[in-house]
Amino acid sequence: MQIFSCDHCGHPVFFENVQCLQCGSALAFVPERMAVTAIEPVAGPAPATPPDPQAPQADPLWQPRSTDEGSTPQYRLCQNQTRYQACNFTVASDDPNPLCMSCRQTRILPDLSVPENVPRWIRIETAKRRLLYTLLRLGLADPRAKEGPIYQFMADLPGQAPVMTGHAAGVITLNVAEADDDERVRRRVQLFEPYRTLLGHLRHESGHYYWDQLVRDHPQRLADFRALFGDESQDYMQALQAHYAAGDGKPDWRPGFVSAYAAAHPWEDWAETWAHYLHMVDLLETAASYRTRIVLPSAEGAQPSRPADPFQEGRSSFDEWIAQWVPVTLLLNSLNRSLGQDDAYPFALSEQALRKLRFVHDVIAQAGAALEADAQPEATPA
């Protein structure tokens, strides 16, 4: 995630900020601009008569404080912000949906009358907006389009089967207990996982969604997928049962996979590799945004590395990404250890895992280029 600047005073601001600490401007993320923007209320004409206190009040309109556009765009705040202070995305003023493009994808919420469910839901939505930002930057989502996965965030209820996190037919389900640090760590230890986060969950499940969109119905991509990841038609439930039954005694997965869970089934291999690719994109963008310069000592002398913004520099130089990735993760883990924390990046990528990551990279690049081409207006004959 890049670091932003308040476009009113220039002070650094971050993706989730709703107020600039330097100038006090209200802030919101405007999907159409892909930027955190300083906003102010739209000043309307004074009403000729006093408003009826019984009549429903329209949501106030906002506009950018600084704009070079010919006409100043107007927005509403997402209804989840005005009701729960749970979202910082805007909605176009002419959009009839009261929810932003991220929140409207969530169709089922846990019971928000249960006090602990509100902060759980807010933490999950925050992670989902980070996922959406990356998908937008990769060209896999469009702020003007209505397509995309549907989400349902559910809590376990007495007398009912536990809510299972997963994806099915375009619907991503997440058990809100994953938003509790203690429960998430308990499950991570129980399942022998070195890494388990809300954002990681959502990235993984989005991989299942995009496999359906980008691979399943494309014969050549499907053939290439099977050559790398294996035949996905093998029994899925049987494969998962065998994976969990093995416990900590699984065969060594490291030569061919990004994680132990990836070895369970080709679908999970794809989803884990997809999530890992999104981790890479986000972390490289963050490092580039801070203009990070890393010097690793070696037998040949100091080797400086400057991570490049993966979006500004294009998506074709995968080898350069990997060359930049290793120093960033070494620095990240070293900083964590200095604070007495576990490694933030507990992975080592094998040659086979890198080939799978390159496949994901190529599929995303092709899909983004196709979406961009579809968005271009058709040429008018002379």
| Residue 55 φ then ψ, to 5° | -80, 145
From 79, 39, 80, 81, select the one nearest 58 (Cα to Cα): 79
Question: 77: which residues sit within 8 A by CB, 6+ positions away?
Answer: 28, 59, 60, 62, 87, 90, 91
Locate the domains of the chain by residue range.
1-42+73-100, 101-209, 215-370
pLDDT at 182: 77
Residue keyed to tokens 């006409």: 71
What is the C-alpha separation between 73 and 92, in angstroms, rounded?
8
165, 201 in Cβ contact below 8 A?
A: yes
What are residue 12's phi and psi, to 5 degrees?
A: -60, 135
Sorted by sequence, the CB contacts under 8 Å of residue 52 that are 6+ apart come out as none
- pLDDT the model gives residue 311: 86
d(CA 79, CA 59): 9
Which pLDDT belongs to residue 195? 73
70: pLDDT confidence band, cut at 50, 70 and 90?
A: low
Q: How far is the C-alpha of 200 from the C-alpha of 212, rounded, in Å? A: 19
Helix, strand and coil in the chain, % to nearest 5: 40, 15, 45
Give the residue with greater pLDDT, 248 vs 177: 177
Across the beta sheet with 166-168, the strand order is 106-108, 150-154, 171-175, 166-168
pLDDT of residue 374: 59
Overall size of the chain counted in residues: 382
CB atoms within 10 A of CB 295: 12
Comparing 246-255, 297-306, 339-348, 361-370, the range with the smallest average pLDDT is 297-306
Mean pLDDT of 73-96: 94
Side chain identity at 209, as an amino acid letter? Y
pLDDT digits (tens, 9 = 90+) for 104-133: 999 999 999 999 999 999 999 999 999 999
Interatomic CA distance for residues 74 and 90, integer angstroms: 9
- pLDDT one-digit tens code per residue, 90-103: 999 999 999 999 99
DSSP-H helix ranges across the chain: 79-84, 117-137, 181-190, 198-214, 219-229, 236-246, 266-289, 318-338, 351-375
CA distances from 91 to 30, 62, 132, 227, 354 (A): 8, 10, 15, 43, 39
Is there a contact between 285 and 309 (Cβ–Cβ < 8 Å)? Answer: yes
What is the chain's mean pLDDT, rounded?
Answer: 87
Q: Which range is most confident: 9-18, 71-80, 304-313?
A: 9-18
Query: What does the pLDDT look like over 146-200, one tens digit per residue?
Result: 678 999 999 989 999 999 999 999 999 999 998 888 777 777 766 667 777 889 9
pLDDT (tens digit, 9 = 90+) per residue, 253-300? 889 999 989 999 999 999 999 999 999 999 999 999 999 999 887 656
